[in-house]
């Protein structure tokens, strides 16, 4: 009898708890000791802004194909290895200078279009053998052989600012213009009172030279000499014979777009003509050097290479 009463009482309590909305065994707390979050409604999801991933503005260009294209056009991007190193950056800057594009070293849409229809320098001198032309307006140097482009290099020429020369006189950091001939050269590093010159090839007896430098910004920055990338300075010294004519122009030199240089479609990095150069000479890393130019400082004969 007592057992029946107890069962009846338990049944009544269960019904009472169910009616009041309680549970004998509530959900356990989360591992962090907090209640589980409420489910997000589909309406809430629809009203949330989507996180968007920015897409690149230009299609991907394979670096090795761009290197090959730059080689074919006469620039010096280094070995065709797919690595966008300093040589590739300098060559791309030179290409941008020649095509009147922003000098930022980026593979933009404008660069992509220009690679398909590139501008090319036109020799101003009808000169057999080697001759060199420097376009100070574009900050470019072009080496020709029998009127054909051998190599196009970025340069940095005199910035026009005032400085004191070795005798203490204030002079302007200007690069001379006109027609010159290369008269002297020094292999390796030559020290001057303004700094060090790497593989300088002089075009005046007073000390102006084309020389290698680690600092070749895309604008005039020197004391009057013409800087080229240090990795190209040994090639330049070994290639250009003494007596070679050298034209330096403050005005832009002539460029043209040749039909045989253009590609039928927008540049894609595929099916490019084979590079006409066998590759670029590689120089070992050298110590950091400061920029300088002899700037009217005469050379002693024992400093000058007789080669």
What pLDDT, on the 0 to 100 scale, is given for residue 163?
86
Q: Which pLDDT score, from 0 to 100, does residue 241 have? A: 98
Q: Which domains does the chain have, with CATH numbers?
A: 64-118 (no CATH), 128-253+288-307 (2.40.440.10)
Task: State pTM to two decimals.
Answer: 0.69
Low-confidence ranges of the chain (pLDDT < 70): 1-61, 260, 262-307
pLDDT of residue 14: 52
Task: Note the pLDDT tens digit of each residue in 213-267.
Answer: 999 999 999 999 999 999 999 999 999 999 999 999 999 999 999 876 766 544 4
Terminal-residue alpha carbon distance, the chain: 128
Q: Looking at residue 289, what is its pLDDT? A: 29
Q: What integer pLDDT is reported at residue 263 of this predicted model?
A: 63
């Amino acid at each position: 009898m007592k057992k029946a009463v107890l069962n009846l009482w338990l049944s009544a309590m269960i019904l009472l708890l169910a009616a009041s909305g309680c549970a004998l065994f509530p959900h356990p707390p989360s591992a962090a000791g907090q209640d589980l979050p409420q489910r997000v409604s589909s309406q809430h999801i629809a009203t949330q802004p989507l996180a968007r991933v920015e897409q690149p503005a230009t299609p991907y260009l394979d670096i090795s194909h761009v290197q090959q294209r730059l080689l074919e056009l006469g620039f010096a991007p280094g070995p065709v290895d797919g690595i966008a190193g300093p040589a590739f950056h300098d060559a791309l800057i030179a290409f941008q200078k020649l095509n009147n594009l922003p000098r930022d070293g980026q593979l933009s849409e404008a660069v992509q279009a220009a690679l398909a229809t590139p501008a090319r320098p036109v020799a101003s001198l009808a000169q057999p053998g080697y001759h060199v032309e420097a376009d100070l307006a574009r900050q470019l140097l072009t080496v020709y052989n029998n009127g054909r482009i051998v190599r196009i290099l970025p340069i940095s020429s005199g910035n026009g600012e005032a400085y004191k020369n070795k005798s203490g006189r204030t002079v302007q950091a200007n690069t001379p213009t006109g027609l010159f001939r290369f008269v002297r050269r020094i292999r390796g590093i030559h020290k001057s009172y303004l700094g060090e010159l790497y593989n300088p090839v002089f075009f005046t007896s007073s000390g102006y030279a084309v020389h290698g430098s680690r600092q070749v910004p895309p604008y005039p920055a020197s004391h009057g000499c013409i800087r080229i990338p240090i990795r190209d300075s040994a090639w330049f010294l070994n290639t250009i014979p003494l007596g070679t004519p050298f034209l330096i122009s403050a005005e832009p030199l002539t460029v043209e777009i040749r039909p045989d240089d253009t590609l039928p479609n927008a540049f894609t990095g595929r099916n490019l003509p084979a590079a006409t150069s066998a590759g670029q000479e590689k120089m070992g890393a050298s110590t950091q050097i400061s920029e300088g130019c002899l700037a009217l400082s005469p050379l002693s004969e024992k400093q000058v290479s007789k080669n």
